[in-house]
């Protein structure tokens, strides 16, 4: 086999108090889709940031097409044909699709932007992406998350990048967009480009990738140059350093009376009145394809949006929440899908994020905050939830997605919450952290709390939930008990007629 086009040579990265990467060495060949696997915090994203020039290496170097490189910034990496498509998008929301696609290389005429050429180039790349219905002059903020991700991919294609890395690319895509992405990646491989693919979805690795490198705790565990003899269990074992017989670990339990009864609620995002109930001690799933109305339904219930009709009976009382604060005081908390923009304060510490809601309980007479009690509360939940962090004062944006999710959960555990609404709770979270999250949800249910899990992951809802409500086109189609919730039945209900 030829020499690798891209080679990581002894890469180490240190941050204050932590060694994020430790002597990473492996190669990736041109015309190859190479998966990077590992738990959150294993070092995958740190390595991508080294490749893109965002993180500076402590030791080691990159070799690209036989030349040694140490990038000082992202601009140097771009000049060498490196493109990274992060899970958390980097688009400019107030600019148009065309301007985002050609940002940094806008066509000019007499010192001004050549608008007709700009739109022509944008239309061409949108056709290649299978997104012809998107107008080049549409503002990016008006696109769905999935469409925005396709624009990120289009930007890399327009720059003719030779090395393209995808970080959890399908986490926000619809079925059709995922299919289109797979075709694009196959085309990139056929063109001889290097494709790095970070995902937690095992089926994608075995379907799309030619090789896989496994990381654990910032170290290179193993590179498999072929997947023909690799199986799912071996890969999971290498990632977590132990055998995981059942990631989901479902625990049956006794359910109590009805905690919440929703009757004919209507509002933004719904096409028909929706009615359902949730029992104490129950994990209720809401499944559907992207755009089915699952999140919109719970936003109406949790006070994020105001219903136009219907009623909610919670804890035996008629309630209609005008704000999320009203819902929290009543005992309902929602962990949103978009952790970065809706769930955390990125520049604040773990302690500040964890205590932000429950500070009113810590107040002393005439004192706004009680730092001593806040720190004790933070340390208790770091221990109870096994949150991996250098310390309570660490900025939360430096934590992995799974540990950020645990901090959000700890925030509500510090409150008197009866109903936990989890919107895509394991999106972008590795197999080991998933099991931790599921265990926490089972623990809550066994304490008599209720949990609603909104998920587009078919295996997840059918494995961890007691009942599954299936939504389609803004309406609740059916509620299926766990015993008869086969993947075929759930998907059949979710797909358009």
Q: Supply angle C-alpha 150, 151, 152, rounded to 5.
A: 90
**Is residue 186 domain-shared with residue 330, that is, in the same domain?**
no
The answer as to whether 170 is a domain residue is yes
Residue 433: per-residue pLDDT: 75
Predicted confidence band of residue 365 (pLDDT cuts 50, 70, 90): very low
The answer as to whether 37 is a domain residue is yes
As a whole number, mean pLDDT of residues 470-480 equals 94
Residue 173: per-residue pLDDT: 72
C-beta of residue 332 within 8 angstroms of C-beta of residue 412: no
Is the pLDDT higher at 369 or at 304? 304
Domain boundary among 212, 240, 268: 240
45-49, 431-435, 467-471: which is most confident:
467-471
**Is residue 281 domain-shared with residue 225, that is, in the same domain?**
no
Lowest mean pLDDT among 31-35, 149-153, 478-482: 149-153
Structural domains in the chain (count): 2
The answer as to whether 253 is a domain residue is no
pLDDT tens digits, residue range 73-102? Answer: 888 888 888 988 877 677 888 889 888 888
pLDDT tens digits, residue range 27-72? Answer: 999 999 999 988 766 888 889 999 999 888 899 999 999 999 988 8
Residue 312: per-residue pLDDT: 94
pLDDT tens digits, residue range 166-225? Answer: 988 876 676 777 888 888 899 899 999 999 999 877 888 999 999 999 998 889 999 999
CA–CA separation, 249 and 400 (whole Å): 23
CA–CA separation, 434 and 194 (whole Å): 30
**Is residue 132 domain-shared with residue 57, that is, in the same domain?**
yes
What's the CATH number where 216 sits? 3.40.50.300
Residue 190: per-residue pLDDT: 92
Q: Where are the alpha helices (DSSP H) in 21-114?
A: 44-51, 74-79, 97-101
User: Is residue 5 over pLDDT 90?
Assistant: yes
Predicted confidence band of residue 374 (pLDDT cuts 50, 70, 90): confident
Is the pLDDT higher at 364 or at 117? 117
The answer as to whether 125 is a domain residue is yes
**Is residue 272 domain-shared with residue 153, that is, in the same domain?**
no
pLDDT tens digits, residue range 127-149? Answer: 888 788 889 899 988 887 778 88
**Is residue 458 domain-shared with residue 368, that is, in the same domain?**
yes
* Residue % of the chain over a pLDDT of 70: 92
**Structural domain range at position 63:** 6-240
**Is residue 212 domain-shared with residue 310, that is, in the same domain?**
no
173-177, 263-267, 430-434: which is most confident:
263-267
**Is residue 47 domain-shared with residue 170, that is, in the same domain?**
yes
**Is residue 277 domain-shared with residue 394, that is, in the same domain?**
yes
As a whole number, mean pLDDT of residues 156-166 equals 85
**Is residue 104 domain-shared with residue 31, that is, in the same domain?**
yes
**Is residue 223 domain-shared with residue 293, that is, in the same domain?**
no
Domain boundary among 195, 212, 240: 240
Residue 60: per-residue pLDDT: 92
As a whole number, mean pLDDT of residues 392-398 equals 88
Domain boundary among 192, 211, 240: 240
Q: Identify the sign of the CA torsion 7, 28, 128, 97.
A: negative
pLDDT tens digits, residue range 272-320? Answer: 999 999 999 999 999 987 778 999 999 999 988 999 999 999 998 998 8
Q: Is 322 exposed, middle or buried (0-12, 13-18, 19+ CB in 10 A)?
A: exposed
The answer as to whether 251 is a domain residue is no
How much is the CA Rg of the chain, to the nearest whole Å?
Answer: 24
**Is residue 293 domain-shared with residue 183, that is, in the same domain?**
no
């Amino acid at each position: 086999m030829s020499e690798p086009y891209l080679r990581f040579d002894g890469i180490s990265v240190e941050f204050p108090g932590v060694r994020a990467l430790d002597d990473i060495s492996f190669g990736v060949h041109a015309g190859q889709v190479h998966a990077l696997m590992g738990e959150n915090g294993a070092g995958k994203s740190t390595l991508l940031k080294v490749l893109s020039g965002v993180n500076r290496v402590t030791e080691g170097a990159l070799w690209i097409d036989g030349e040694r490189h140490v990038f000082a910034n992202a601009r140097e990496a771009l000049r060498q044909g490196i493109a990274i498509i992060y899970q958390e998008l980097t688009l400019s929301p107030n600019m148009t699709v065309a301007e985002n696609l050609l940002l940094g290389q806008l066509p000019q005429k007499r010192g001004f932007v050549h608008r007709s050429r700009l739109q022509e180039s944008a239309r061409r790349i949108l056709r290649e992406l299978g997104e012809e219905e998107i107008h080049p002059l549409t503002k990016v903020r008006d696109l769905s998350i999935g469409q925005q991700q396709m624009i990120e991919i289009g930007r890399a294609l327009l720059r003719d990048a030779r090395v393209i890395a995808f970080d959890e690319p399908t986490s926000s895509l619809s079925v059709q967009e995922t299919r289109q992405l797979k075709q694009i990646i196959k085309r990139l491989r056929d063109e001889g480009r290097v494709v790095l693919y970070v995902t937690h979805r095992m089926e994608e690795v075995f379907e799309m990738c030619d090789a896989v490198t496994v990381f654990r705790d910032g170290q290179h565990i193993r590179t498999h140059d072929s997947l023909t003899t690799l199986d799912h269990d071996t890969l999971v074992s290498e990632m977590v350093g132990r055998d995981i017989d059942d990631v989901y670990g479902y625990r049956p339990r006794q359910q109590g009376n009805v905690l919440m009864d929703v009757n004919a609620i209507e509002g933004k995002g719904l096409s028909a009145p929706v009615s359902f109930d949730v029992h104490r001690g129950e994990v209720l799933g809401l499944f559907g394809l992207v755009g089915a109305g699952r999140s919109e339904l719970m936003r109406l219930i949790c006070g994020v949006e105001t219903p136009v009709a219907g009623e909610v009976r919670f804890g035996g009382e008629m309630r209609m929440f005008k704000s999320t604060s009203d819902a929290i005081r009543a005992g309902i908390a929602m962990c949103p899908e978009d952790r970065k923009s809706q769930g955390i304060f990125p520049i604040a510490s773990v302690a500040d994020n964890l205590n932000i809601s429950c500070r009113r309980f810590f107040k002393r007479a005439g004192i706004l905050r009680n730092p001593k009690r806040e720190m004790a509360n933070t340390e208790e939940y770091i221990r109870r939830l096994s949150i991996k962090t250098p310390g309570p004062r660490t900025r939360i944006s430096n934590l992995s997605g799974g540990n950020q999710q645990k901090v959000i959960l700890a925030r509500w555990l510090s409150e008197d919450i009866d109903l936990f609404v989890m919107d895509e709770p394991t999106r972008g979270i590795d197999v080991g952290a998933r099991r931790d999250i599921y265990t926490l949800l089972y623990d809550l249910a066994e304490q008599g709390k209720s949990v609603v899990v909104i998920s587009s992951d078919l295996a997840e809802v059918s494995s961890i939930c007691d009942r599954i409500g299936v939504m389609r086109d803004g309406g609740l189609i059916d509620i299926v008990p766990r015993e008869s919730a086969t993947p075929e039945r759930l998907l059949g209900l979710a797909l358009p007629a």
